[in-house]
């Protein structure tokens, strides 16, 4: 049965680890923004100034392509796990409208953890470069993204099937599986 599983949460909350587990459980295709960004633009030289604009323009191109692939897969009857950022409510509202317009079933999986733990996880992931590593997350990017994170409010929770995911354990390192 086709379905979209959207993962939400701030940087370092355990989304990539959870995406792996969920994709296996659901027999779903994982589409992860960080993987696309790293593959398509990881080797590119970043500009000395205007880095945020440089990133956002490429992110938006990736998101458009990821949506096209996800929409096609779901239309063919496939389950999809999306980890595509959407840290702000307005970004999610636009995504929800797109999903509603085509009528795909959607479940939102919400992950979170205290900022200090998330920061520690990101720093360890940057160093260890394990299974869920896509690209180095500079500390200043972590802090900026954490400041921009807007958890679902009551209206979003009421209107959507949002499931809070328990904490990600620290067994064998950061984010090795759902608790």
pLDDT at 32 (0 to 100): 95
Q: What is the mean pLDDT of residues 110-138?
A: 83
Contact status, residue 113 vs residue 167, Cβ threshold 8 Å: yes
pLDDT at 167 (0 to 100): 56
**Half-sphere exposure (Cβ direction) of 60: Cα atoms closer than 13 Å:** 8
pLDDT in tens, 93-117: 999 999 999 999 999 999 999 999 9
What's the pTM value of the predicted model, to 2 decimals?
Answer: 0.85
Say if residue 90's pLDDT is above 70.
yes
Domains and CATH numbers, the chain: 3-164 (3.40.50.300)
pLDDT at 144 (0 to 100): 85
- Please give the DSSP secondary-structure letter assigned to residue 166: P
Cα separation, 124 vs 173, whole angstroms: 8
State whether the Cα torsion 44-47-92-71 is positive or negative: negative
Query: Among residues 144, 143, 5, which one has the least CA distance to residue 84?
Result: 5
Cα separation, 21 vs 16, whole angstroms: 9
């Amino acid at each position: 049965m086709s379905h979209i599983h959207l993962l939400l949460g701030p940087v370092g909350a355990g989304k990539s680890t959870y995406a792996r587990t969920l994709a296996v459980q659901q027999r779903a295709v994982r589409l992860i923004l960080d993987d696309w960004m790293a593959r398509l633009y990881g080797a590119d030289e970043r500009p000395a100034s205007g880095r945020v604009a440089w990133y956002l323009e490429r992110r938006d191109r990736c998101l458009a392509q990821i949506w096209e692939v996800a929409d096609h897969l779901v239309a063919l009857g496939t389950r999809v796990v999306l980890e595509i950022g959407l840290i702000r409510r307005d970004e999610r509202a636009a995504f929800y409208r797109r999903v509603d317009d085509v009528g795909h079933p959607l479940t939102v999986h919400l992950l979170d953890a205290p900022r200090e733990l998330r920061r520690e996880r990101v720093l360890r992931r940057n160093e260890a470069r394990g299974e869920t590593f896509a690209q180095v997350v500079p500390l200043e990017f972590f802090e900026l993204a954490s400041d921009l994170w807007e958890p679902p409010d009551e209206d979003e929770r009421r209107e959507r099937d949002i499931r809070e995911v328990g904490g990600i354990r620290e067994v064998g390192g950061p984010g090795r599986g759902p608790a």
